[in-house]
């Protein structure tokens, strides 16, 4: 029997003033997993996460976190989790040491401020007011605050958005260290590479629904035989040109560039170039490569777009 | 409890790191006090009689602006959202923020009080009652601050809303402008603002009767405080993106408004809207116009409020009439008739009876059936008992005696003592009992026509009334006004 999942979400729905932001989401996260919620802006990642951590009341659905019914006992859940939100900030004049000491007083159990300062590389900035910290340092402080109560589970909402490349790399290292230490983490991102690099498992979310779940490797493997083709033409092509071609997975048209996947690139390209010659369309650029998670992501999230 | 303490400590630390907050919290009350002191330093208006107002303004500023500004700016930047992710209950953070504010208000109050003492204010009459009153005032206005924080979506809105409550309370709410100086409608309006009860309660503790004089005020303040706390808690938003307009349960605001209306209605019903007697000492100086200094030449018309008209009827004018502070009238062995004997009805009919009202600040006079509170009554009775043996009132010529007796009414008025409403009544009665009506009218008229004649008596401490106005012109002016007031009664212009 597998251990109790740290997170179990069933049929989660949430609408803002009648407009659905999340419409029926299910997933589970096993202990020790780094789980990525991957999706474009506005997909409903933040809404999902904020429902889980008790900031928003879901319209419907079951939420179980660390074995506790999160809708019934939100306070119990808050004792066990740590959270970094996309948009919060502390008082300008508070120092990292003070913030960590303050937040420690809010929980039943806590880690000493000094330990967290060391672990998140803030020792030198321990007594500097937050207003004088860099973006990366602030983000590390936010992360340290999420760990103040020795959480069983950590939620990170787009933790790397808005950081410079150096800070982003540092944060990646921290998350990888969390994985090594056996922490369970749910984080959201719209960066594919990030998900691919850090996550044990990802759920791809689009317009309030999960469109694929699995380990990044498995998701890519499912389309391993496929190849990704990008073609730029003059004049631009419409999707109708590709309708007649066999063995194509979703076609993405972006201006004069078209992207699609195929199991047999040679045959598809032969048929396509023949057609283009007939229509006197000039090929400006053509690339063929093995499909990546990005292709899958784009294919899944652009599906059904007008 | 640990959380309350931790958040209280950090709130205070952050406050003391915030220069603007310190400016508003401490410098503002100090400036107010010093400005008041500088403005009125020539008039002997002791700070003691205005501590109620000064303390109220300090608390009002801290609670109406300071508290909600902190709360709203933290909410806007997402601090409260972050707290919300921890198991700490909302009330813990709100309560510790309010406690921190209370600490700041108390220290600001002590600073103000300490400074006032350093500037020569005497020790408050009821220190324990003052501490209690201050806590009630702080509680009421912290409740108000929470309501403002709940209503305002952002910091500029706090400023706007705060001003909407602060200014009316200052101007027509009895906080900065004396109720007695306000038109009657404004006195009624003030009954609906808690500022008035704050001033009353504090002033009763500073130089009034203490607890007995502030029961209704404490009740009014706790009611507004509790209502503010309830409404503030019910309307509390931790999410800066949530707008007040979009909030459910806006009706809780009615609790806060309801409390103000209820207090005002009860005050109206119990008839305590007209300026109550024990509020008198709380009235500030008449107007922020510096009075002439005693050494300045005496252009009478520049006296603070009511200029003494230049004598109109030249009848019976003596050479001494316009000489300020002449030597005591020489004893004239040969002249049998004193100058006032030639005064006729024509003279008193020619006087200007346009004087300040009896319930005003300047020359107040209690109604015949008005009962002072016990503390004041004791003093009034003491004076009444001593008058018949008071040398300046019985020895010497009649005119000097009458003039000296007028000063018994004028001095307490000039320094705004609690007894000022009642002593004129005592003096009037004593004069009626001591002189034939006709003579009394003549002498009062003579004094009204020659307000600068005779020596000024600024010290009536032999009668048990401590204090001196230190401003001869002011005392002369008030004595003149009382002479007119007595004449109005004697001539039937005013019936009682
Ligand atoms: N407070 C809100 N009120 C109304 N609509 C909202 C609110 N927050 C988010 N939305 C909408 O819900 C959808 C999902 O948003 P969000 O969960 O923030 O997506 P993501 O985090 O994936 O970018 C978006 O269409 C967004 O415009
Ligand atoms: Mg988001």
Query: Tens digits of per-residue pLDDT, B174-206?
Result: 888 878 778 888 888 889 999 999 999 999 898
- Closest approach of chain B CAs to the CA of A75, in angstroms? 5
pLDDT tops 60 at residue B285: no
What pLDDT does residue B328 have?
A: 42
Q: Tell me phi and psi for residue A214, to 5 degrees.
A: 155, 175
Integer Cα distance of B218 and B60 in angstroms? 16
Q: For residue B336, what pLDDT band results from cuts at 50, 70 and 90? A: low
Check if the beta carbon of residue A97 is closer than 8 Å to that of residue A127: yes
Q: Which ligand is in closest contact with the Cα of A25?
A: 1
Distance of CA A210 to the CA centre of its chain: 12
Neighboring chain A residues of B78 at a CB cutoff of 8 Å: 85, 87-89
Question: Please, which residues have CB within 8 angstroms of residue B9's CB and are 6 or more apart in sequence?
Answer: none
Q: What is the DSSP string of B258-272?
A: HHHHHHHHHHHHTT-
Instruction: Name the residue among A91, A103, A108 with its Cβ closest to that of B74.
Output: A91
Would you state the structure tokens that stand for residue B304, as one six-digit string? 């603070």
Instruction: Name the residue among B17, B83, B239 with its Cβ closest to that of A93.
Output: B17
Nearest residue of B to residue A83, measured between CA atoms: B85
Ligand 1 pocket, CB under 6 A? A 16, 21, 39, 41-47
Q: For residue B352, what pLDDT band results from cuts at 50, 70 and 90? A: confident
Integer Cα distance of A193 and A10 in angstroms? 28
3-state secondary structure of B195: helix
- DSSP label at residue B206: H
CA of B374 to the centre of ligand 2 (A): 70
Neighboring chain A residues of B95 at a CB cutoff of 8 Å: none
What pLDDT does residue A65 have?
A: 95
pLDDT tops 90 at residue A52: yes
Cβ of A88 within 8 Å of Cβ of B78? The answer is yes
Q: How much is the mean pLDDT over chain A? A: 87
Neighboring chain A residues of B79 at a CB cutoff of 8 Å: 88-91
Integer Cα distance of B284 and B290 in angstroms? 13
- pLDDT tens per residue, range B147-156: 999 999 999 9
Residue with tokens 């009689």: B49
Residue with tokens 């009458």: B402
What pLDDT does residue B471 have?
A: 77
What pLDDT does residue A226 have?
A: 73
Instruction: Name the residue among A83, A98, A105 with its Cβ closest to that of B2.
Output: A105
CA of A21 to the centre of ligand 1 (A): 6
Protein residue closest via CA to atom 27 of ligand 1:
A42
Reading phi first (left if > 0) and then psi (alpha if -120 to 50, else beta), residue B289 is in beta
For residue B324, the cross-strand partners are: none
pLDDT tops 70 at residue A91: yes
Neighboring chain B residues of A85 at a CB cutoff of 8 Å: 78, 81-82, 85
pLDDT tops 70 at residue B134: yes
Cis peptide before B286 (omega within 30 of 0): no
What is the position in ligand 1's atom list of the atom closest to the CA of A208? 14
Residue with tokens 């706790």: B222
Inter-chain contacts counted by CB atoms under 8 A, chains A and B: 65
Would you state the structure tokens that stand for residue B408, as one six-digit string? 């018994």
Weakest mean pLDDT among A131-145, A183-197, B261-275, B343-357: B261-275
Please report the residues numbered 20 through 79 in chain A whose beta carbons come closer than 8 angstroms to any beta carbon of chain B: 53-55, 75-76, 78-79
What pLDDT does residue B323 have?
A: 37
Q: Tell me phi and psi for residue A19, to 5 degrees.
A: -95, 120
Enumerate the H helices of B288-397 as residue ranges.
Answer: 345-349, 374-386, 391-394
Protein residue closest via CA to atom 5 of ligand 1:
A16
- Closest approach of chain A CAs to the CA of B3, in angstroms? 5
Reading phi first (left if > 0) and then psi (alpha if -120 to 50, else beta), residue B152 is in beta
pLDDT tops 90 at residue B25: no
Nearest residue of B to residue A92, measured between CA atoms: B14
CA of B89 to the centre of ligand 2 (A): 26
3-state secondary structure of A189: strand
pLDDT tops 60 at residue A77: yes
Any B CB within 8 A of A109 CB:
no
Any B CB within 8 A of A288 CB:
no
Would you state the structure tokens that stand for residue A244, as one six-digit string? 């007649």
Helix%, strand%, coil% for chain A, nearest 5: 35, 30, 35
Check if the beta carbon of residue B361 is closer than 8 Å to that of residue B178: yes
Q: For residue B312, what pLDDT band results from cuts at 50, 70 and 90? A: very low
Check if the beta carbon of residue B456 is closer than 8 Å to that of residue B404: no
CA of A8 to the centre of ligand 2 (A): 20
Integer Cα distance of B406 and B390 in angstroms? 13
Integer Cα distance of B147 and B257 in angstroms? 10
Q: For A288-304, what is the mean pLDDT?
A: 70
Nearest residue of A to residue B78, measured between CA atoms: A88
Residue with tokens 């033409």: A233
Protein residue closest via CA to atom 21 of ligand 1:
A46
Neighboring chain B residues of A101 at a CB cutoff of 8 Å: 6
- pLDDT tens per residue, range A216-238: 888 777 655 677 888 898 888 77
Residue with tokens 């009316």: B168
Integer Cα distance of B250 and B151 in angstroms? 9
Q: For A62-83, what is the mean pLDDT?
A: 94
pLDDT > 70: percent of chain B: 86
Q: For B350-370, what is the mean pLDDT?
A: 85
Q: Tell me phi and psi for residue A17, to 5 degrees.
A: 50, 45
What is the position in ligand 1's atom list of the atom closest to the CA of B241? 1
From residue A224, alpha-carbon distances to A122, A205, A290, A295, B496 in Å are 43, 21, 7, 11, 109
Question: Please, which residues have CB within 8 angstroms of residue A262's CB and are 6 or more apart in sequence?
Answer: A226, A227, A229, A247, A248, A249, A268
Q: What is the DSSP string of B171-200?
A: HHSSSSS-GGGS-HHHHHHHTTSHHHHHHH
Check if the beta carbon of residue B200 is closer than 8 Å to that of residue B282: yes
pLDDT tops 60 at residue B291: no
For residue A62, the cross-strand partners are: A10
What is the position in ligand 1's atom list of the atom closest to the CA of A158? 21
Q: For residue B145, what pLDDT band results from cuts at 50, 70 and 90? A: very high
ipTM of the complex model = 0.81
What pLDDT does residue B268 have?
A: 85
Q: Tell me phi and psi for residue B195, to 5 degrees.
A: -55, -40
- pLDDT tens per residue, range A140-174: 999 999 999 999 999 999 998 888 889 889 889 98
Integer Cα distance of B79 and A50 in angstroms? 16
Integer Cα distance of B281 and B299 in angstroms? 29
Q: Which ligand is in closest contact with the Cα of B241?
A: 1
Enumerate the H helices of B18-89 as residue ranges.
Answer: 19-22, 28-39, 51-61, 67-77, 79-84
Would you state the structure tokens that stand for residue A306, as one six-digit string? 């007008």
The 10 Å CB-count burial string (b at 16+, else e) for A122-140 is beebbeebbeebeebbbbb
Check if the beta carbon of residue B198 is closer than 8 Å to that of residue B217: yes
- Total Cβ atoms within 10 A of residue A270: 11
| Helix and strand totals (H; E) in chain B | 20, 0
3-state secondary structure of A28: strand
- pLDDT tens per residue, range B55-111: 999 999 898 889 999 999 999 999 999 999 999 998 898 899 999 999 999 999 999
| Helix and strand totals (H; E) in chain A | 11, 14
- pLDDT tens per residue, range B198-247: 999 999 898 878 888 889 999 999 999 999 999 988 888 888 788 888 77
The model's pTM:
0.69
Any B CB within 8 A of A152 CB:
no
Integer Cα distance of B269 and B101 in angstroms? 34
Check if the beta carbon of residue A266 is closer than 8 Å to that of residue A214: no
- pLDDT tens per residue, range B445-490: 999 988 888 888 888 888 877 767 777 888 888 999 999 999 999 9
- Closest approach of chain A CAs to the CA of B19, in angstroms? 11
Check if the beta carbon of residue B45 is closer than 8 Å to that of residue B474: no
Instruction: Name the residue among A54, A91, A101 with its Cβ closest to that of B79.
Output: A91
List strands edge to edge, sheet with A184-189: A81-84, A153-157, A184-189, A34-38, A201-206, A209-214
Structure-model confidence comparison of residues A302 and B452, the more confident one: B452
- Closest approach of chain A CAs to the CA of B144, in angstroms? 24
User: Of B4, B14, B75, B82, which to mutate for an interface test with A (greatest number of A Cβ within 10 Å)?
Assistant: B82
- Total Cβ atoms within 10 A of residue B496: 11
Integer Cα distance of A88 and A85 in angstroms? 6
Neighboring chain B residues of A108 at a CB cutoff of 8 Å: 87
Pairing of strands A7-16, A19-29: antiparallel
* Residue A108 CB-density burial (10 A; 0-12 exposed, 13-18 middle, 19+ buried): exposed
Cβ of A94 within 8 Å of Cβ of B86? The answer is no
- pLDDT tens per residue, range B293-308: 333 333 333 333 333 4
Q: What is the DSSP string of B211-267?
A: GGGGHHHHHHHHHHHHHHHHHHHHT----TTS-GGG-S-GGGHHHHHHHHHHHHHHH
Neighboring chain B residues of A107 at a CB cutoff of 8 Å: 86-87
Q: How much is the mean pLDDT over chain B? A: 81
pLDDT > 70: percent of chain A: 94
What pLDDT does residue A116 have?
A: 96
Most confident of B47-51, B138-142, B187-191, B462-466: B138-142
Q: What are the residue boundaries of the structural domains of chain B, listed by start?
A: 2-277, 339-490
Integer Cα distance of B332 and B334 in angstroms? 6
Integer Cα distance of B301 and B79 in angstroms? 61
- Closest approach of chain A CAs to the CA of B7, in angstroms? 6
Q: H/E element holding A259?
A: strand A257-262
Instruction: Name the residue among A83, A89, A98 with its Cβ closest to that of B10.
Output: A98
What pLDDT does residue B315 have?
A: 38
What is the position in ligand 1's atom list of the atom closest to the CA of A22? 14
Structure-model confidence comparison of residues B321 and B367, the more confident one: B367
Residue with tokens 């989401």: A25
Any B CB within 8 A of A132 CB:
no
Any A CB within 8 A of B295 CB:
no
What pLDDT does residue B249 have?
A: 79
The 10 Å CB-count burial string (b at 16+, else e) for A20-42 is bbbbebebbbebebbbbbbbeee
User: Comparing C-alpha atoms, which of A158, A151, A202, A139 is closest to residue A178?
Assistant: A151
Neighboring chain B residues of A149 at a CB cutoff of 8 Å: 86
- Closest approach of chain A CAs to the CA of B166, in angstroms? 27
Structure-model confidence comparison of residues B325 and A178, the more confident one: A178
Most confident of B41-50, B244-253, B289-298: B244-253
Give the angle B236-B242-B244 at the CA atoms, nearest 5°.
65
Cβ of A88 within 8 Å of Cβ of B82? The answer is yes
Cβ of A90 within 8 Å of Cβ of B17? The answer is no
């Amino acid at each position: 029997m597998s251990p109790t999942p740290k997170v179990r979400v069933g049929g989660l729905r949430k609408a803002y003033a009648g407009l659905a932001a999340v419409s029926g989401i299910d997933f589970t996260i096993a202990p020790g997993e780094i789980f990525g919620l991957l999706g474009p802006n506005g997909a409903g990642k933040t809404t999902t996460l904020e429902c889980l951590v008790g900031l928003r009341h879901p319209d419907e659905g079951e939420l179980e976190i660390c074995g506790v019914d999160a809708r019934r006992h939100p306070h119990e859940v808050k004792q066990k989790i740590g959270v970094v939100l996309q948009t919060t900030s502390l008082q300008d004049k508070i120092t990292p040491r003070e913030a960590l000491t303050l937040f420690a007083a809010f929980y039943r159990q806590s880690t000493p401020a000094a330990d967290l300062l060391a672990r998140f590389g803030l020792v030198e900035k321990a007594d500097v007011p937050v207003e004088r910290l860099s973006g990366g340092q602030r983000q590390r402080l936010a992360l340290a605050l999420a760990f103040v109560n020795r959480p069983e589970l950590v939620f990170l909402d787009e933790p790397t958005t808005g950081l410079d490349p150096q800070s982003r790399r540092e944060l990646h290292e921290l998350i990888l260290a969390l994985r090594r230490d056996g922490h369970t983490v749910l984080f959201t991102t719209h960066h594919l590479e990030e998900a691919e690099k850090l996550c044990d498992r990802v759920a791809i979310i689009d317009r309030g629904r999960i469109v694929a779940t699995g380990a990044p490797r498995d998701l890519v493997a499912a389309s391993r035989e496929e190849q990704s083709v990008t073609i730029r033409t003059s004049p631009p092509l419409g999707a109708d040109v590709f309708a007649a071609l066999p063995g194509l997975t979703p076609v993405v048209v972006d201006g004069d560039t078209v992207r699609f996947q195929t199991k047999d690139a040679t045959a598809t390209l032969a048929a396509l170039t023949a057609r283009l010659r007939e229509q006197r369309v000039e090929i400006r650029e053509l690339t063929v490569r093995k499909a990546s998670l990005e292709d899958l992501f784009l294919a899944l999230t652009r599906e059904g777009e007008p | 409890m640990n959380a309350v303490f931790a958040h209280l400590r950090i709130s205070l630390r952050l406050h003391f790191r915030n220069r603007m907050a310190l400016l508003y919290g401490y410098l503002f009350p100090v400036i107010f006090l010093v400005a008041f002191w500088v403005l009125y330093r020539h008039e002997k208006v002791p700070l003691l009689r205005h501590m109620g107002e000064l303390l109220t303004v300090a608390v009002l500023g801290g609670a109406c602006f300071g508290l909600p500004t902190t709360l709203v700016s933290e909410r806007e930047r997402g601090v409260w959202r972050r707290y919300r992710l921890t198991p700490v209950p909302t009330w813990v953070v709100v309560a510790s923020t309010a406690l921190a504010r209370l600490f700041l208000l108390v220290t600001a109050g002590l600073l103000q009080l300490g400074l006032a003492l350093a500037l020569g204010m005497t020790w408050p009459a009821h220190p324990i009652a003052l501490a209690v009153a201050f806590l009630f005032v702080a509680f009421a206005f912290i409740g108000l601050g929470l309501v403002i924080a709940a209503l305002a979506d952002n910091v500029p809105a706090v400023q706007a809303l705060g001003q909407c409550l602060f200014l009316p309370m200052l101007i027509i709410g009895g906080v900065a402008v004396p109720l007695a100086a306000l038109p009657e409608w404004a006195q009624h309006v003030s009954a609906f603002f808690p500022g008035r009860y704050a001033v009353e309660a504090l002033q009763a503790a500073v130089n009034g009767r203490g607890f007995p004089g502030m029961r209704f005020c404490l009740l009014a303040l706790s009611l507004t405080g509790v209502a503010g706390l309830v409404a503030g808690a019910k309307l509390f938003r931790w999410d800066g993106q949530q707008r007040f307009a979009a909030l459910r349960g806006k009706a809780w605001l009615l609790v806060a408004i309801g409390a103000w209306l209820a207090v005002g209605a009860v005050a109206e019903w119990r008839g305590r809207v007209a300026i109550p007697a024990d509020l008198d000492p709380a009235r500030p100086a008449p107007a922020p116009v510096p009075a002439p200094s005693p050494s300045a030449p005496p252009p009478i018309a520049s006296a603070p409020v009511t200029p003494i008209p230049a004598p109109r009827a030249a009848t019976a004018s003596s050479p001494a009439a316009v000489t300020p502070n002449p030597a005591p009238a020489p004893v004239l062995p040969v002249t049998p008739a004193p100058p006032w004997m030639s005064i006729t009805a024509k003279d008193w009919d020619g006087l200007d009876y346009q004087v300040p009202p009896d319930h005003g600040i300047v020359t107040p006079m209690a109604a015949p059936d008005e009962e002072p509170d016990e503390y004041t009554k004791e003093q009034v009775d003491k004076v009444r008992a001593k008058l018949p043996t008071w040398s300046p009132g019985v020895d010497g010529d009649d005119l000097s005696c009458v003039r000296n007796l007028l000063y018994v009414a004028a001095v307490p008025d000039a320094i705004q003592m609690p007894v000022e409403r009642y002593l004129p009544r005592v003096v009037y009665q004593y004069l009626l009992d001591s002189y034939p009506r006709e003579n009394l009218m003549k002498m009062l008229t003579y004094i009204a026509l020659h307000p600068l004649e005779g020596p000024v008596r600024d010290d009536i401490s032999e009668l048990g009334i401590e204090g001196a106005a230190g401003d001869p012109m002011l005392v002369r002016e008030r004595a003149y006004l009382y002479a007119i007031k007595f004449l109005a009664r004697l001539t039937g212009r005013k019936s009682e």
